[in-house]
Amino acid sequence: MRIIAAAVFAFGWSAADLASAQTDVALKRLPDAAYEVDGEFTVDASSAAVWGVLTDYEGIPSFVASMRSSRVRETREDGSLLVEQKAVGGMFFLTRTVTILLEVRQEPELLRFEDIGRESFWRYEGSWSTERAPEGVRVSYHLIAQPDFVAPAVLMSRAMRRGARDLLEQVRVEIVRRSNAGGRKI
């Protein structure tokens, strides 16, 4: 802990920089300009608090900075949901609004999603999963995304990695915030 505190002081890292060190993200470029993202963090919170955040589809814009809108369009008979989301992403002066229509299927400790609208991505599918860990709950995120637009691979890789890291960190912070508030959504 002293080493971390010294690094914060010596390098002028902010609390957000330090917190993002708790969020691991790996990115792999796949054929056909697709990207695979794997990320995880561990949070000292109850499973209920974690799932409360992961399934707060309507509230996501209040804690994920890139999310402009998110709404449940339909709850199906089989329990799956259709969730429509609009988000802004990019790097430097290049930004793009993306629209996804997610089919979401929830199982114990696993949430799978796939974009069935195909408006901004040729392929966009992934999952959130949780498991108990000695430090609390380990939250894992997996995504395979193939955008339907062309961008230089180096810029796209950076944008995907940064977007995933920001998403995971903002979700982690919201879980902690709600846990500290006694699980209440505030």
Look at 62-76, 116-130, 141-155 and tell me which has the smallest mean pLDDT: 141-155
pLDDT of residue 20: 42
- pLDDT class of 144 with cuts at 50, 70, 90: very high
Confidence of residue 4 (pLDDT cuts 50, 70, 90): very low
CA angle 68, 69, 71 (to 5 degrees): 165
Whole-number percent of the chain with pLDDT over 70: 84
CA dist 12 and 19 (Å) reads 14
Q: pLDDT tens digit string along 82-107? A: 999 999 986 666 788 999 999 999 99
Per-residue pLDDT at 82: 98
Question: How many whole angstroms separate alpha carbon 64 and alpha carbon 60?
Answer: 6
- Report the range of poorest mean pLDDT among 92-96, 100-104, 163-167, 181-185: 181-185
CA-CA distance, 166 to 33, in Å (whole number)?
22
Q: What is the DSSP letter of 64?
A: -
Structure confidence at residue 16 (pLDDT)? 42
Mean pLDDT score of the chain: 87
Q: Which residue has the tokens 């977007």?
A: 163
Q: How far is CA 53 from the centre of its chain?
A: 11
Pairwise CA distance, residues 122 & 117, whole Å:
9
Q: For the ranges 10-19, 83-92, 160-169, 173-182, which has the lowest average pLDDT?
A: 10-19
Position 180 confidence tier, pLDDT thresholds 50, 70, 90:
very high
Give percent above pLDDT 90 in the chain: 72
Domains and CATH numbers, the chain: 25-180 (3.30.530.20)
For tokens 């708790």, the residue is 22
pLDDT of residue 11: 35
